[in-house]
Structure formats: structure tokens, C-alpha cells
Structure 1
Amino acid sequence: IPEEYGGTPVDPKTEVRTFAMISEEISRGDCGLSDKLVQIWKTSVLLRNILPKHLKDYWFPRIVADPTFLLSHCLTEPRGASDRWLPYDVPEAMMQTRAVKKGDRWVINGRKQFISNGYDSKLYVVYATTTPGAGMTKGTSNFLVPRGTKGFTIARCNETLGGRYMNNGELVFEDCEVPEDHMLVQDTALTKAGIYFRPGKIIQSSKNLGIGVAAFENTAEYVQNYTQGGRPLIKHQAVAMRLADMATKISAVRALQNEAATAVDENAPDAEALCNMAKMFASEEIFKVCQHAVELHGGNGIMLDFGIEKLFRDASVFLHMDATVDISKFKIVKNMFPQTAGKYAGPEA
């Protein structure tokens, strides 16, 4: 939130790196809590860039004044999610949620799912098709929808395998009316969303990294203090090699994440590819770190009261959150080779 509205001053040259560090540290305790908090930051980054001044004047002071004020960014639908961020800019891939202008209001109908903070946010940025047949980048608009708006129902809090504290929610819009000034970007909303998505990939990596660090720290303590075969576990070579593998993966994830976060902060030409690399690489490598952690704890690794199985479950969520691994790989290549791989789908294929 901008400083003039009571927000905390942040250096824009290091903002993404700063929040990555904060996110990682919180995630060492619980990645769901980290997701809850950084979702506010990511959405506020978008809002400070696209909100008209009168809405900033109204909402930003309220967000700052209320410690329970959560924000949500609502894209995913039952029919499609990360697959839509491929170059499928064709009518068939457009969102099923629709918004139609009636007089001085917009009427929204549709459904969103897997929305972080969705169950208990107070303000939602909702994407909907406004020009059917135009394609995703030319016919999708976004709207500001406050909690409690008539026709807007929070259907349920999803039960997730990991990251359970994020209160991932499912939302329903049935003739939901918002004032015309609550349309934020008309038709080209997805072309403006990079200021949300790029930092978001870094945050996915940093939350994941926090889980990996927690898994490593807990495992290192365990294998140094648990005796098996007359000696501490760490003195068994097979155990030591796994611990080395865990440490190496964590360091590699951190190095790539730092490079990607710097690129996003500096708006470098390769920022898009790098942030997707960081997100994808972290999701695969930290999952392996947590698998090692479970196995090095032996039978205790799957016991609820040890907490290691929770880290394994939390890590598994990141294979799917904010784009699947395969979709992330497609996006990396698309951004590296836009004139060839960037045209593999839709009418240009």
C-alpha cells in the first residue's frame, strides 16, 4: 500500500526480493500463513497500478486500518486455470465467468475456484469475459467486488492436502452487480496482470523454499540425535549423502530465486522466463527435499505428531499452485523463443 495511505515504505528497487525473504521466513513456520499474507501484497501491487484515485482513497486506508483485511485475486475457474496462460488466445479458451453492462452497472455471472484467501477476504479482484469471441487478451476485464455484494456467494472453503491455512475458497456470482467505476481494466486486463504474476512466481518459490529449509533443519537435528545401529544416524553414509543432497537442492533453489527476483525488481528482459524457472525448479526440488526428510525420519516421518509429514504435504501443493510444472515449462520456452515456441497454439500454430 502506498505510503501516503499509511502503508509501509518499500524500496521499489528491492521490493520483490524483500517480500521473498519475508515470505520464506514465515513459511518456515507455516506456508499457509505465508500465502495468506503475501496474497495481500501481490494483490495490492496490482491495485496500486490500476485502481483509479477515488477507489484508492476509499479502499487503501481501510486495508491499512483493519488487520483482518484480506485480498483475493480471482482468475481460476472450474473449467480452466494455468492452461489458459499458454498462447491460447482464441474464443474457445475464454473465461466462462461473464460480465454484461446494464445501465450504470456491470452484472457478473460465473464461478471461481481455488482462490487463495477466497473464504475470508474482504475485497476481490474478479476477472470475467466482457467481449465474447475476442480472445483472452482482448476480451477479459477485471472488477473490484467487495465481500457482501448482492449476488456474490462464498460457496465453501476447500479442503487441501497442504497449505491448509490459506483458506482456499470457491466463489459464485449470480447476477452480481457492481458500479461501473468498479471495472478496473476493460477487455485488456490480462495484459496488465504481469505486475501480479511475476512477483507471484517469486513468492511461490520463496514459500516453497521456507518449507525446504524447515524440513532440512528438522531432519539435520533428528539424524544427529537419533541413534541407530549403535551410532547417530548421520554417521551412516547413506543418511549423510541424502542430507548433502537436501542442502544442495536448497542452495540451488535459493540461487535461482535470487537471480529471478533481481530480474523482476529491475524489470529485466528475461524476468518472465526466470520467474517461471524459479517457481518450477523450487516446486520439484523442494518436494524431493521433503521426501528425503520423511524417509530419513523412518516410521516417525509419517506420524502426525512429528510434523515432517505436514512439510511433505505442504511441498506437494506447489507442484500445482500458480501453474503446474508442465505449464511452467511451456511458459519458459514460450518466453525464451517467442517467434517460434511462442506460436505453437491457437490460430498461429
Structure 2
Amino acid sequence: MKTQKTELVLLLLICTINCVSISKQDGVEELKKTSWGKIAWNLSQLAFSGDSALKELADVLTSVTEQVKDLRHDHEFASDKAINVYDSKREQLDLEIDETVTFIARNTDYLDTQMHDYIVNINKRLENLDKNVQENRKQLEYLTFTRQKQNEKFLDTLSQYEHMVAQVDMCIALLQGIFANEEFIQVDRVKIITRKIFAATMLIGGIDMKELLETTESAKYTDTRVQKYILEAFNNLRKQFIDHKNSDIAYDAEQQKEYEDQKHQLDGELLIFKKDIAELIYNLSVTEEKIRQIKDDIESNRKDQEFYSKEKEFINNGRQIEEKWKSKIIQGIQQSIIIHRESHEFNKPT
């Protein structure tokens, strides 16, 4: 009988150990509200009630065994549920980590290939456009320089024509005065005048004075026909000067128009170049802002990845703790069942 009570006390001790969640100050009534507490209380009452209680104790042990089995099932279910929650969270974290890894890899490759090539292409186009602008300005500078030289030459030639017309007009007036006074005709003076005009015309070219010069060298200046011929020759010479002058003016006008057309074309090309440059600079700024945003997103995903990895580590630790706790609980309950069975066998009536 003493041995039976000793076994019973040991069983009571095991039940009491499983009631550790109830603090001392909760009292007996609080203890009796739990399954283990109720079992412990009943066993404590039976353990000291004498031999007549052995059969009742056997029944209680049988009931306790069933309750312990149920309790084990409840603990296993709760632990499995907690482990499933950990696994579900871990799977979700794995998906989120994979998403961040994929995002970082894809966008890093995008920055290193497409965006890099796009930036290089824009810079090359800007460099070429800058060269085009410089070449355009050089062409305009040369065109303007050439036109200035043409204009200077034209103005100089125009001045010569105007001077020669004035000289011819003066010669005509002098000859008319000489021919009007036949008695005072000075042959040498007429020759000097014609030679002077001839020398002047040789400077500007395009005027044939040979016939006039030969005529005046051998002419009889008292002959009115010769006088008329000489005056007509000088008038023709004057007309030639004026025609040449007008021709040069018309040619200069054509050159001016050609210059303005070429300048207009170059200015138009320059506007197109500047427009293309402005568009490329805008595209470059948009691209740089896009690159900055992508880099920010990559950095944000890196931080998310670090957070998910740490969270996964916490989840793994929690799952391991839950596995250990489940194993410990089941082991303790299993030992309790074994003890209950042994006590039940020990207390069977003989």
C-alpha cells in the first residue's frame, strides 16, 4: 500500500508540473479550472483517502489517460498550425525576396545596357550636332567674308566707272569747245585727250580704243566729219562705261541675292540643329531623371530585400523554437501517458 501511494504521489507531481502556467497567487480554485489542475486536485484527494479509493483512482487514471491523449492532440494541432503559419509566412517572404532580386537584376541590366547605350547615343548625336553648328558658322563666316570682298571690289569698280564717265564727259566738252573754234584747233591737245582716255580705259579693260586712237593720230581735225566721228566715238565710249557699270550693278545684285539665299539656308540649318540639340538635351534630362528614379527603386528594393531576409531569419528561428517546443510537449505528454498506464496496471484489483 505504501508503494502504491508513492507511485500516486509521483503521478501527482507530474500533473502538478504541467500546471506551471498557473501562478501561486491564483489559488486552488484557479488551479482547478485547468485540465491539469483538475486532474492534480482529484489525484491529491484520492491519494490520501485510503485503500477504498483505489478502484476510483483507477477509473480516474483511465479518464486522465484519455484526457492526456486529447491534450496531446490539441498541442500537436496547435503546434502544427503555428508551424504552418511560419511556413506560409516564409513562402511569402521567399516570393517577395525573389521579386526584389528579379527587380534589381532586371533594372540593373536595363541601366547597364539600354539606358547606357541610349545616353551614349544622345551624347554622340549632341557632339555631331555641335560639329555641324561649328561647320555651319564657318561656312557662313566664309560666305560673308567672300561677299564683303566682292562688294569691296564692286564698289571700287563702280567708282572707276563713275570717274571714267566724268572724264569722258569732260573730254567731250573740251573737244566740242576745240572743234567750235577751228582756227585754234590744237592737234596735240586732242591727241593728249584721246591718249589719256585710252590709258584710263586700259586700266579697267573691256573698252576698245584702238580704232579711235588711230583715227585721232592721222585725222584732220578741221574736217567736220572727223570731228563728228570723234565725238560719236567718245559718246559711245561713255555709253560703254555706263553699260559696264549697270551690268556690274546687276551682277552685284545677283551675287547679293545668292549670298542672302545661302545665308538663309545656313541660318535655317542652324535653327534645325539648335532645335535638335534642345530636343536631345530635354530627352537627356528626362532620361537622367528616369535613371535616378530607377536607381532609387533599386536601392529601395535592396532595403526591402534586407528586411525580408531578416524577417525570414526571425521566422526560421520561430519555427525552430516551435518545433522544439512541440517535441518537448509531446515527449512530456507521452511520458505522462506511460506513467498513467503503469499506474493503472499497478492499481488493478487482484
TM-score w.r.t. the length of structure 2 is 0.22
